[in-house]
Amino acid sequence: MQDLLDSALARIHAAATTEDLEAVRVEVLGRKGVLTQLSKDMGKLAPEERASRGKFINTAKQAIETAYEGRRSEFERAALAQRLDAEWVDLTVPAPGVRPGSLHPITQIQWEIEDLFRSMGFSVLDGPEVETEFHNFDALNIPPDHPARDMQDTFWLEGGYLLRTHTSSVQVRGMEKLGPPLRMIAPGRVFRNESVDASHEHTFYQLEGMMIDRNVSVGNLIYFMKTLLTAIFKRDVTVRLRPGFFPFVEPGFELDIRCLICGGAGCPVCKQSGWVELLPCGLVNPHVLRLSGIDPAEWNGFAFGLGLTRLVMMRYAIDDIRWLQSGDLRFLRQF
Summarize as ranges the residues that interact with ligand DAH (CB under 6 A). 166, 168, 208, 246, 249, 252, 280-282, 303-305
Pairing of strands 161-163, 182-191: unpaired
CB 249 → ligand DAH: shortest distance, Å?
4
Nearer to ligand DAH by C-beta: 127 or 305? 305
Name residues whose C-beta falls within 8 Å of residue 5's C-beta, 6 or more positions apart in sequence: 60, 63, 64
Rounded least distance, CB 166 to ligand DAH, Å: 3
Given the complex with ligand DAH, which of 71 and 166 has the nearer CB atom?
166
Q: What is the distance between the alpha carbons of residues 267 and 12, in angstroms, rounded to a whole number?
A: 85
Closer CB to ligand DAH, 131 or 208, in the complex: 208
Q: What minimum distance in Å lies between the beta carbon of 132 and ligand DAH?
A: 16
CA dihedral of residues 4, 10, 11, 13 (deg, nearest 10)? 150
Q: What span, in angstroms and rounded, lies between the C-alpha atoms of 56 and 286?
A: 121
Q: How far is the CB of 133 from ligand DAH (least distance, A)?
A: 15
Nearest partner of 270 among 313, 305, 322, 323, judged by Cα: 313
- Give the helix/strand (H/E) hosting 212: strand 203-213
Shorter beta-carbon distance to ligand DAH: residue 125 or 303: 303
Complex with ligand DAH: residue 191 or 246, whichever CB lies closer:
246
What's the min distance (Å) between Cβ of 328 and ligand DAH? 27
Q: Which is nearer to ligand DAH, 68 or 204 (CB)?
A: 204
Q: How far apart are CA 175 and CA 88, in angstroms?
A: 67
CA distance 296 to 294: 6
How far apart are CB 235 and ligand DAH at their closest, in Å? Answer: 25
Comparing CB distances to ligand DAH, the nearer of 168 and 300 is 168
State the nearest-atom distance from the C-beta of 92 to ligand DAH, in Å: 59
**Closest residue to ligand DAH, based on beta-carbon distance:** 305
Cα gap 137→134, rounded to integer Å:
5
The full DSSP string for 138-189 is GGGT--TT-THHHHS---B-GGGEEE-SSTHHHHHHHHHHH-SSEEEEEEEE
